[in-house]
């Protein structure tokens, strides 16, 4: 699992989406990636038919992009892709077609109707996207120079999550803080060995930080202290009578993190 492919940002004309787009543009610039803007529309709102709906959606995308700080890029350098249907499924499909390295959206509002208080779109993305999903509430530290924080359970870590985060930090020119919560010294030793084995000469500087408190709170505290540009966590899905749910740590971070939060697909 590598940080390869374009950066896709979902846009809908809101301030939240504009912040997400500005952050996505910074990631694309620092990582030398193509920036793609996606938008979903309802054909039923356009009596002239699907072609008119697509054309209007692209015009809206171009207008929204013109109002966002894209860094050295011009709006014309951003690829625009539109689709018909609900926002979540459309963005998931675009991300798959474009082989996106990262799907970026505005952070959900607390109190949505989906499980964990998430909005329907955010809930769909966390469960269905094959690309990592970044939720942006605030911009965090400068992408090109700020550390990245990776949350890891030493007793049950995901090697793909570590590899992806190492690659992301390396491409952005950032260091990687691996925050690990465990009371088992053997598990911490195993994690330290895994970090060494997964690293290569081009890997970023890695700091392994052992914490004993609430994992989500410790991740937010650490990321705030060092001015991180993002927090990265893998998903551990569980089930209840209503179906699949996010784990406790990702759910809490989605609601409370001030840094952009990247959720890696469950594997």
Q: Quick check: 36 pLDDT over 60?
A: yes
The reply to whether domains 7-136 and 148-264 share a CATH topology is: yes
The architecture (CATH level 2) of 7-136 comes to 3-Layer(aba) Sandwich (3.40)
Q: Supply the pLDDT for residue 237.
A: 54
Measured at the CA of 15, the angle between CA 9 and CA 18, to 5 degrees, comes to 30
Domain 148-264 top-level CATH class: alpha beta
Q: What's the half-sphere exposure (Cβ side, CA atoms, 13 Å) at 223? A: 29
Structural tokens at position 170: 């390396």
**Around Cβ 91, how many Cβ atoms within 10 Å?**
31
Cβ(181)–Cβ(191) below 8 Å: no
Q: Supply the pLDDT for residue 114.
A: 39
Q: Supply the pLDDT for residue 108.
A: 74
Task: Break the chain into its structural domains and give their ranges.
Answer: 7-136, 148-264
Q: Quick check: 247 pLDDT over 80?
A: no
User: For 210-245, what is each residue's pLDDT tens digit?
Assistant: 998 899 999 999 999 999 999 999 876 554 434 444
User: For 130-147, what is each residue's pLDDT tens digit?
Assistant: 999 999 988 777 898 899
What is the rounded average pLDDT of the residues 2-24? 94
């Amino acid at each position: 699992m590598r940080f390869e492919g374009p950066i896709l940002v979902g846009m809908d004309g809101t301030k939240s989406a504009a912040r997400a787009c500005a952050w996505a543009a910074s990631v694309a610039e620092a990582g030398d990636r193509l920036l793609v803007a996606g938008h979903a529309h309802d054909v039923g709102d356009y009596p002239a038919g699907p072609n008119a709906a697509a054309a209007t959606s692209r015009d809206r995308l171009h207008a929204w992009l013109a109002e966002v700080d894209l860094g050295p890029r011009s709006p014309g350098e951003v690829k625009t892709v539109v689709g018909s249907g609900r926002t979540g499924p459309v963005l998931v499909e675009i991300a798959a077609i474009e082989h996106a390295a990262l799907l970026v959206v505005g952070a959900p509002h607390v109190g949505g109707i989906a499980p964990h208080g998430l909005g329907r779109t955010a809930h769909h993305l966390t469960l269905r996207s094959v690309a990592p999903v970044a939720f942006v509430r605030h911009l965090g530290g400068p992408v090109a120079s700020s550390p990245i924080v990776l949350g890891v359970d030493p007793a049950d870590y995901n090697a793909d999550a570590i590899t992806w985060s190492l690659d992301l930090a390396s491409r952005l020119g950032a260091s990687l803080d691996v925050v690990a919560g465990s009371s088992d010294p053997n598990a911490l030793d195993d994690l330290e060995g895994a970090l060494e084995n997964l690293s290569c000469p081009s890997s970023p500087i890695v700091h392994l930080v052992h914490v004993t408190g609430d994992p989500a709170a410790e991740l937010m505290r650490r990321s705030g202290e060092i001015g991180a540009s993002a927090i990265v966590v893998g998903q551990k899905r569980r089930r209840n009578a209503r179906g699949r749910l996010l784990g406790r740590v990702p759910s809490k971070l989605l609601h409370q993190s001030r840094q952009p939060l990247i959720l890696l697909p469950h594997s």
